[in-house]
Structure 1
């Protein structure tokens, strides 16, 4: 039944996804009151929720525009379910904003495939990653993805490899100028905080262990088939699929490096992982197994609600 509902893009799907995301958002302060900052205004919380839903719509746009799935809505369903499993992803509004900029970066980067306005797209990509890193420093780890993408798209023009640095520098200049004018400090706005933390004890709970196990097991299993099936895609679209897989890898590194491990750092994984799992679901021919696979992804977050 689940696969039937989401096998085609329909308005009702977006309403269902909105409802799941809203439940996850409303659940957080009741289930984890000790994690929520009581001083955060209701308007800030509403803005965070709206931005998360805009992120879902952006993910759907990227997938549909670049033919990264068979025109279904599995990816937005999975994205919302990940929030239901780990509602702590709402905790840090800066990561929510940073993740939104990273998705905009992926949109511009994947569009290099058309070979049109390449310089503009590379500048935008560098600019957007720089903006993302202003909100969450370790988002800068996505920067090497720009150069890998150029190699995947067979862009060998030397000047292209300089353009992302110009976008990065533009943000740095604007941020420093703003910092000097407002705070009388050169680097306050740059938010340079290269601290790392490899202590994963904060994940030592039934909820985190179950949710992370779900992401890892379903993600790794789907990735094996995802990578295998890339060669079956149209040649011009293969780099896009590889970029999404690499984005998932970089997001995993960011989660490992995160100085504060409260669950919000896992947000960078949600979008690329949702697309990877969606592609695997589309390859499953046995209807019962497809229902079971997707059903587990629905049931596990719901079970976590009562734990």
Structure 2
């Protein structure tokens, strides 16, 4: 029954998924024991709007570029992978940063049609720059913009300069903002965060369990994806390589960020959800398919409630 439901892509599917997201999102906030005040409510609503928008854009990316079949399997996996990371749900800055990273990824994938190439490269670079204002290390995804240029439009040398210009524009606008409000410059030295390979921030029960589940999913989904990769249509392979690159960049960022509390793993969710959809689209038989979906739906409740 669940497999039939998620195999369709209808408005009711997105409404039910959004309600499911809201329930888990609310539980995550409740578990954090936040005090109910104006600023917390604003962060709660703002974070949830960013979360839902990200889900919709993930679906748009997969459907528009034919990365998966016409279904809601990908967004269901995306919600599963984000809700097992409770700290990411209660961090509005991480949700906002992830939203702009996904928007940037959408622009990079749009380079394939060969139209408005320079404006799309600039748009992707601006999105990554804005994402880095919310969470500095998301600036690492500028690598994906260069990969997109390499795959789709490598011959025009001007294209390679545009991402740097995009980041400079974000820096200049940020300086204008800080000068207007705080009468000070946006200092690069204060903007850049150090690198750390310490993993002490994961040494708590929920963190270990979340990382364990995410590690198993990454290894399992990625292995199946690589096995099935050669069977994918040739025209979609550049897109798929970019998705793999996005996952690898996200994993690299998890390794080097200074403050680790599992919230930074939210960047893994989008590419891994697209990669994991390959597994859900395989013919396992009805019974096993239903078990898969029930596990993905119920496991976040176990992590958040126990």
Q: TM-score, normalised by structure 1?
A: 0.91
Q: Could you tell which deviates more after superposition, 116-125 or 275-284?
A: 275-284
Contact 2:207 2:261 in 1 (8 A): no
For 1:17, the equivalent position in structure 2 comes to 17
> Matches of 2:92 and 2:305 in 1, distance apart?
26
CA shift for structure 1 position 200 = 2.1
Q: Which moved more, 1:85-94 or 1:45-54?
A: 85-94
Q: Secondary structure at the match of 1:219?
A: helix
Q: Residues 84 and 283 from structure 1, CA distance in 2 versus in 1: closer, same or farther, beyond 3 angstroms?
A: same
Q: Once superposed, which parts of structure 1, at least 4 consecutive aligned residues long, lie more than 4 Å away? A: 36-39, 188-191
Counterparts of 1:190 and 1:64 in 2: how far apart (Å)?
A: 41
Q: What is the alpha-carbon distance in structure 2 between the residues aligned to residue 95 and residue 215 of structure 1?
A: 18
More deviation, 258-267/244-253: 258-267
2:198 counterpart SS class: coil
Q: How does 1:98-117 map to 2 (within 5 A)?
A: 98-117=97-116
Alpha-carbon distance change, 45 to 206 in structure 1, aligned in 2, over 3 angstroms = same
Q: How does 1:156-195 map to 2 (within 5 A)?
A: 156-188=155-187, 192-195=191-194
Q: Secondary structure at the match of 2:9?
A: coil
Give how far 1:78 is off: 1.5
Q: Is there any run of 5+ residues in structure 1 with no aligned partner, and where? A: none
- 1:219-298 equivalent positions in 2, closer than 5 A: 219-298=218-297
Single out whichever of 170-179 and 107-116 deviates more from structure 2.
170-179
Distance 2:211 2:171 in 1: 35
Aligned residue in 1 for 2:4: 4
Q: Distance in 2 between matches of 1:91 and 1:260?
A: 15
| Unmatched tracts of structure 2, length 5 or more | none
- The 8 Å contact of residues 195 and 258 in structure 2, kept in 1 or not, is answered as yes
Q: CA deviation at 1:297?
A: 2.3
1:57 matched residue in structure 2 = 56
The Cα RMSD (Å) is 2.1
Q: Which residue of 2 aligns with 1:208?
A: 207
Give the superposition deviation at 1:105.
Answer: 0.4
Partner of 1:136: 135
Retained in 2: the 8 A contact 1:20–1:84?
no
